[in-house]
Each structure stands twice: as structure tokens, then as C-alpha cells.
């Protein structure tokens, strides 16, 4: 397809497409003339991901470029490739190690990972921004007087593992490694609001079942 059709089908204006081409966030089309190029379904898919990152995820363009760079790096193993792309997404502040609730939270997180047998998460430890984010979130709960410990978190961890298995099944249904990585990133950004809304709706539903309206 030509640029005009790519623009119409992706919902991205021609000038923004040209900008993404200059930034290297979109591969050049196949030259078919001095000023025209031909684009394919891969370009369309990539523009959807760029929109997910920039418009929905509100990532700065430099961060989006970094995420896309990991997706495009086929020298990496699949877990590392997905991980590198997901780790490049924005995360909250790092834990403040001088805070005693951070120390206690890290102990509980480590006990939790041992209880549920998540060996990779234990091995990576605070190398992973998600591990650091979990420690910060648990430390905040504990500082405010909610004594969340490994035992309280364990059933939630088991349920979120089942969610992750479904996520990976969906990612696996994509044909190529590049599409798998793209889908993993898009799902993380786009699907978290769906899960949050489902959880809140489910809370209202269960509350109505227990107590009436």
C-alpha cells in the first residue's frame, strides 16, 4: 500500500508517519519510484504498536525508540527479548534502601517468591524493575500500617500467575518472534486498564452478592 492508505488504515497522519520513519521507529518502505514507496502489513502493525506506546502509554519518543530497539534485536533469546522490551517501559521510583519498611518489604517479597517457587524472579531479584516496583508497593502498604506479608500475597501471586499464563498463550499465538515481542508490549500497556476495570467491577458484583445494594 502507499503512504496515504497506510495513514488511513493506521489512523496516523502522513506527517507523523514520516516523522517515525526519520526516527527509525518504522522501517523504510520498498522504493517503487523516486518519491513513492510501498508499505506492507508489517508497517501497519508497527504503527499500531507505536500508537499504543506513544498515544496510550504516553511514553516519550526516546523511550518508545528504546522499547522498539529491543523488539527488533533478533540476537536476543525470546525471554530476554521480551524482558528487555518490557523493562524499558516506564517504572516507578527505585526503593529507598535507607527506609526500614523497604528492608522489611524486600524480606516479604523474597519469602513470597520462595513460597510460590518463582526461581527466575528470585535469581534476577532487584535487577528486575518489576521486582523493585513490587518492593516499593509493599513498603508503601507497610509504612501506612497494612501488614502485607508473604502469606497474604501468596493467593494473589498464584492468581496473577494464571493471568500471566493466559497472556503468554496469547503472545504465543502470534506467528513470528517480532510479532510475539510486539504483542507482549502492546498487551502490557493496553491490557492493564482492562484488568483493573474488571477487578473493580467484580468487587462491586461480589459486594452486591454478599450485602445487597
**204 near a copy of itself (CB under 8 A):** yes
**Residue 40 in the binding site for a copy of itself (CB under 8 A):** no
Of 127, 183, 144, 21, whose CA–CA distance to 30 is shortest? 21
Using rule CB under 8 A, residue 52 touches a copy of itself: yes
H/E element, 37: strand 37-38
Should residue 140 be labelled a site residue for a copy of itself when binding is judged by CB under 8 A? Answer: yes
Is position 206 an interface residue for a copy of itself (rule: CB under 8 A)?
Answer: yes
Kindly state the DSSP code that residue 31 receives in the 8-state scheme: E
Candidate list 15, 62, 77, 98; residue touching a copy of itself; CB under 8 A: 77
What residues from 80 to 109 belong to the interface with a copy of itself (CB under 8 A)? Answer: 80, 82-83, 86, 92
Q: Which of residues 57-76 bind a copy of itself (CB under 8 A)?
A: none
Q: Does 27 bind a copy of itself (CB under 8 A)?
A: no
From the number of C-beta atoms within 10 Å of its C-beta (0-12, 13-18, 19+), residue 149 rates as: middle
Tell me the C-alpha distance between 187 and 167, whole Å. Answer: 8
A 10 A CB-CB count for 128 gives 17
Q: Which is nearer to a copy of itself, 97 or 191 (CB)?
A: 191
Cell 517504572: give the residue.
91
Cell of residue 84, nine digits: 528487555
Footprint of a copy of itself on 169-188 (CB under 8 A): 170, 172, 184, 186, 188
Question: What phi, psi does 91 have (nearest 5°)?
Answer: -125, 165
Q: Which of 8, 97, 100, 205 binds a copy of itself (CB under 8 A)?
A: 205
Closest approach, Cβ 67 to a copy of itself, in A, equals: 14
- Contact between 19 and a copy of itself by CB under 8 A: the answer reads no
By CB under 8 A, is residue 45 in contact with a copy of itself? yes
**Stretches 13-21, 25-33, 64-72, 162-170: which one binds a copy of itself (CB under 8 A)?**
162-170
* Distance from C-alpha of 71 to C-alpha of 181, rounded to nearest angstrom: 6
Neighbours of 89 (CB within 10 A): 18
Decide if residue 114 touches a copy of itself (CB under 8 A): no
Amino acid at each position: 500500500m502507499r503512504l496515504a492508505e497506510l495513514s488511513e488504515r493506521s489512523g496516523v497522519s502522513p506527517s507523523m508517519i514520516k516523522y517515525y520513519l526519520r526516527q527509525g521507529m518504522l522501517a523504510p518502505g520498498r522504493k517503487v519510484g523516486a518519491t513513492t514507496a510501498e508499505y506492507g502489513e508489517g508497517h501497519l502493525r508497527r504503527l499500531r504498536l507505536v500508537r499504543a506506546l506513544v498515544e496510550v502509554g504516553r511514553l516519550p519518543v526516546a523511550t518508545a525508540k528504546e522499547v522498539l530497539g529491543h523488539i527488533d534485536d533478533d540476537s536476543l533469546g525470546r525471554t530476554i527479548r521480551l524482558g528487555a522490551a518490557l523493562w524499558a517501559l516506564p517504572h516507578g521510583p527505585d526503593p529507598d534502601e535507607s527506609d526500614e519498611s523497604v528492608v522489611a518489604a524486600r524480606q516479604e517479597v523474597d519469602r513470597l517468591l520462595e513460597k510460590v517457587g518463582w526461581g527466575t524472579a528470585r535469581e534476577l531479584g532487584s535487577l528486575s524493575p518489576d521486582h523493585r516496583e513490587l518492593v516499593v508497593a509493599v513498603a508503601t502498604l507497610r509504612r501506612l500500617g497494612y501488614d502485607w506479608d508473604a502469606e497474604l500475597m501468596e493467593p494473589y501471586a498464584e492468581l496473577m500467575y494464571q493471568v500471566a499464563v493466559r497472556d503468554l498463550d496469547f503472545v504465543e499465538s502470534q506467528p513470528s518472534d517480532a510479532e510475539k515481542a510486539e504483542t507482549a508490549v502492546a498487551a502490557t500497556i493496553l491490557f492493564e486498564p482492562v484488568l483493573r476495570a474488571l477487578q473493580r467491577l467484580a468487587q462491586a458484583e461480589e459486594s452486591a452478592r454478599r450485602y445487597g445494594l
